[in-house]
Amino acid sequence: MAIDFYRHDLGKAELDAIARVLAGPILTTGETVAEFERRFGEYLGRRHVVGATSCTGALHIALLALGVEPGDEVITTPLTFLATSAAIAQAGAVPVYVDVEPDTGNIDATGVAAAITPRTRAIMPVHLYGQLCDMRALRAVADSRGLAIIEDAAHCVEGERDGVRVGDLSEACCFSFYATKALTSGEGGAVATDDEELAAKLRLLRLHGMTKTAADRAVEGFKAYDMVTLGWKYNMDNVQAAMLLPQLERLDQKLALRELLARRYYEKLSDVPGVQWPAVLPGRHGRHLFTVWVDPTVRDAVLAGMRAAGIPVVVNYRALSFLSYLRETFGIRPGQFPIAERIGESTISLPFYAGMPQEHADLVAAALREVLTAVRSRRTESAAFSRDR
Ligand SMILES: *Cc1c(COP(=O)(O)O)cnc(C)c1O
């Protein structure tokens, strides 16, 4: 029985929605995008959503729209996908890293105040694996120093903590619709905000700084457009939006399946020696990825053993201080974020998606138990061997 790391569940509803777009004249940004923006905004409880081609692009224009300028500093986490930092660099700003909480892997809000300088303009937290950061604490620090918060919510469409939902306490909240995310159009992203002026700026920045779109021209006939600022080419198209719309109906039901799967993993792994996992806080966990932690000295051997056993496993993520470009450009180095680095060297992401059979979790857990036992006994033998010599 082949075990998949991830499988999407797109099918007939999405095909039908795409067919409806193909039957009309507008493939690029138009009515279907507008409808997705409305409906996703309703789901989130936000007044405005601006569809984009990626979360990276969404983060980039959110920074620009909030007035982040070259040389400004943005406080963020060293334990995330590199896109969070890439967006900050694309805006010409400098990522300033604050180490993470040892139990959750999320940015440690208590460390943020100490990292603020006169050049700090914003905080960019990441809700790692789908569990919300301490947004109340981050909002308090941001307010005390006049900073904006831009959430990287690529892992967390559904999350809630301390009565705060994703997007509730930030100026802008960015989502990814990349192939493996909870909502997907293969590639795609969005910014959600309650600020109308900010939403208008984001609409300009996602399409060349132009005052009219192709769909406007189709409706109004040709009217001269202006280019009022430098913009990018990040506009979501109607085909992407069509794929996303039917999935909004399934979001909560799919989260419930992932929650059940996570509980199955906890149950099956609870008596496996040497396996730990991030703490789960009260609230609603977005359950994007399921990661466990093993001793860093055996992690790579366990990864290899799992793959040899036919179980697809990956690492989300090694700390950013190991990435050459960020090291060379921003002067970070291994050793600087001991908690993020330790978690990054301990992490194994296990197969996890809404339609995954529960029995697959049993097989994965059993394989992990066996592989860990084998790796450990090899280590004990080689330790005894070097002692004997
Ligand atoms: C996937 C991901 C991104 C990037 O999303 P794209 O839509 O591929 O640009 C950014 N941040 C995190 C934490 C992610 O997991």
pLDDT tens, position by position, 296-310 = 999 999 999 999 999
Contact 354, 361 (CB under 8 A): no
Contact 96, 74 (CB under 8 A): yes
Q: Whose CA is nearest to atom 5 of ligand 1?
A: 55
CA distance 49 to 46: 7
pLDDT at 275 over 80: yes
pLDDT at 229 over 90: yes
Atom of ligand 1 nearest to the CA of 187: 7
Atom of ligand 1 nearest to the CA of 56: 9
Does ligand 1 come within 6 angstroms of the Cβ of 81? yes
pLDDT bucket at 212, cuts 50 / 70 / 90? confident
Does ligand 1 come within 6 angstroms of the Cβ of 147? no
CA distance 289 to 282: 18
CA distance 227 to 204: 9
Span from the CA of 25 to the centroid of ligand 1 (angstroms): 31
Does ligand 1 come within 6 angstroms of the Cβ of 240? no
Average pLDDT on 217-232 reads 90
Joined tokens for residue 281: 């806080």
Residue 47 backbone dihedrals phi, psi, to 5 degrees: -75, -35
- Site to probe by mutation for ligand 1, drawn from 59, 152, 316 as the one with most ligand atoms within 8 Å of Cβ, is 152
Span from the CA of 89 to the centroid of ligand 1 (angstroms): 15
Judged on CB neighbours under 10 Å (0-12, 13-18, 19+), 381 is exposed
CA distance 225 to 213: 9
Does ligand 1 come within 6 angstroms of the Cβ of 83? yes
pTM of the model: 0.97
Atom of ligand 1 nearest to the CA of 83: 10
Q: Whose CA is nearest to atom 8 of ligand 1?
A: 178
Does ligand 1 come within 6 angstroms of the Cβ of 152? yes
Average pLDDT on 165-189 reads 98
Does ligand 1 come within 6 angstroms of the Cβ of 176? yes
Span from the CA of 154 to the centroid of ligand 1 (angstroms): 5
Does ligand 1 come within 6 angstroms of the Cβ of 84? yes
pLDDT tens, position by position, 296-355 = 999 999 999 999 999 999 999 999 999 999 999 999 999 999 999 999 999 999 999 999
Does ligand 1 come within 6 angstroms of the Cβ of 154? yes
Helices (H) and strands (E) in the chain, counts: 14, 11
Does ligand 1 come within 6 angstroms of the Cβ of 55? yes
Atom of ligand 1 nearest to the CA of 176: 7
Atom of ligand 1 nearest to the CA of 80: 13
What does the pLDDT read at residue 67?
A: 98
Element (H, E) at 74: strand 73-76
Does ligand 1 come within 6 angstroms of the Cβ of 85? no
What does the pLDDT read at residue 176?
A: 98
CA distance 341 to 165: 28
Average pLDDT on 46-62 reads 98
Span from the CA of 317 to the centroid of ligand 1 (angstroms): 12
Please provide the average confidence, as pLDDT, over all residues in the chain: 96
Atom of ligand 1 nearest to the CA of 177: 7
pLDDT bucket at 39, cuts 50 / 70 / 90? very high
What does the pLDDT read at residue 389?
A: 57
What does the pLDDT read at residue 218?
A: 82
Span from the CA of 378 to the centroid of ligand 1 (angstroms): 38
What does the pLDDT read at residue 388?
A: 62
pLDDT bucket at 378, cuts 50 / 70 / 90? confident
**What percent of the chain lies above the pLDDT cut of 70?**
99
